[in-house]
Amino acid sequence: MVSWTEKITGVFDPDRALQAAMGTLIGAAEFKHTLEWGTERWSPGKALKLLLACYVGARNTGADVRVEEMIRQFRHILGDENIQLTIMTLDPELSARYFRTVRQIQLPNVFPKFLYDECAKHHGVVACEGSMFKSKFATALSTMMAGALGMANAESKLSIGYGAEAGEMTRSLREFVQKRCKHSLVICRNEPSRTILENLGIRTAPGTDTAWTFEPAPLERGAKLLRAGGWDGKTEILAVGPIHPFCWPVKPDLMKATARVLAGQFKEEHYKSIYFHHRSEEGEKKYRAYLAGLARAVTAFAKERPVFVALIGMERLDRRACVDLAALLPQKPPLFVSDSYDMYDLVSILRNVSYLVSSRFHAIVTSMPAQIPSAGVTMDERICNLMNDRGHADLFLEVDDPKLADRLLEILRILHRDSDRIADDIGRSIPKQLRLMGEMGITFADEVARVYPDFPRRNLPKSWENYLPPISRSLSQLLEVYA
């Protein structure tokens, strides 16, 4: 039965309203730029002011890690003396220890006027979100990314999407991206994303994710935290990263927001402000089946061989899934969730484990430099693309797979049986990703030079390794072995 809120929401689409408001202000910015009113312009001798449009401040470890590495790469390529970086954050307190040397400003829940004001103060925008152009998670987030790029285009400024991915979009979002990002350069982390955007007439270039060069806390730190969680220091560790795959997308909903304030309704699906997670009986049923499948596979594997199970929550939203999964396991595992552990500690924990099964893309990516045998239980194409690129098409399955328990148990057996081979395959895949990351750094520098020909380019030999941020000794050693 359709509720009264669903009937009204069907008539008034908040996502379309948000795109319309953003489009109106982009038009105003274009008009103001034509008249040369009130917008910052770069000239030789000035620091290049770049606004980083991000999803940070939510304790999403993947988002934080990849932006941290972008910042290090930009600083290396352009030079600290030549740039001023500003980053948007949802919560300055949650991102306070991150992104050194970068000014942080709070992104409001309703952002069009904020982007209109802030983009005018900068010489360019770099959109940093991985799932940049998708309706799977939140059309509003993609509207913000495309709106920021569109605002920069309206003022003839640098407009770059960095390490981006494109996927299924609503019709209104696709039209908005096509119209507002046609003068942007979007550096994509896979070829399917390039195809989607090029079909919309948007310039693209090849790239990758930027988390590959992240250096966590020392391994000893992660081991200490695992021991505090009950690990004996010797038993193999199986890390499992559950999520709630069926609570997406997040959408603005004025009627639900009103009902929540006035009548206390919709508390469970409330995300923040006027934004709500998807919630349905069917979704909750699928969620319970997903957790049950994970639990059965992990329990069966633990009976076959001694393993210490640890649950990893890469985003603070994952705490619910970790708590719910822990309740289904015979022995209560420790929970390591990003609301209590920062990105440096969380990735250090990941690099101490023996095996990893995760529904979070960046849990797998950030474990790979330590060559941790890993597998994915995926809700979208990101983990599929990653595993196929590694040559491990047999190491992922879908969150709604009806045989999830049996198939995941077999995957866990493969991780154990073929751990050396899988680790070697992972090691072989890392140099390719680092090369792509260096090449996207060259592309970034070339685009800066195209938009601002007089910008002082650093004298870096035009080879990919020179456009990476400084990398750790362990990553250098891995390159020596596999490159």
Tens-place pLDDT, residues 375-429: 999 998 889 989 999 999 999 999 999 999 999 999 999 999 999 999 999 999 9
Q: Which two tokens stand for residue 265?
A: 């309704």
The pLDDT of residue 109 is 85
> Which residues are registered as beta bridge partners of 357?
240, 375
pLDDT at 268: 61
The parts of the chain modelled with pLDDT lower than 50 are: 1-11, 259, 263
Beta strands 124-127; 203-206: pairing state = unpaired
Centroid of chain to Cα 474: 24
Q: Is the pTM of this model over 0.95?
A: no
Give the DSSP per-residue string, 64-91.
HHHHHHHHHHHHHHH-GGGEEEEEEES-
* Residue 245 φ/ψ, nearest 5 degrees: -75, -15
Strands 83-89 and 103-106: parallel
Pairing of strands 270-272, 275-277: antiparallel
pLDDT of residue 281: 82
Residue 1 is predicted with a pLDDT of 39
What pLDDT score was predicted for residue 362? Answer: 96
Instruction: Give the separation between CA 208 and CA 437, rounded to whole angstroms.
Output: 6
Alpha helices in 210-251 (DSSP H): 219-228
The pLDDT, as a whole number, for residue 252 is: 62
Sign of CA dihedral 66, 67, 69, 70: positive
Q: What is the per-residue pLDDT for 120?
A: 95
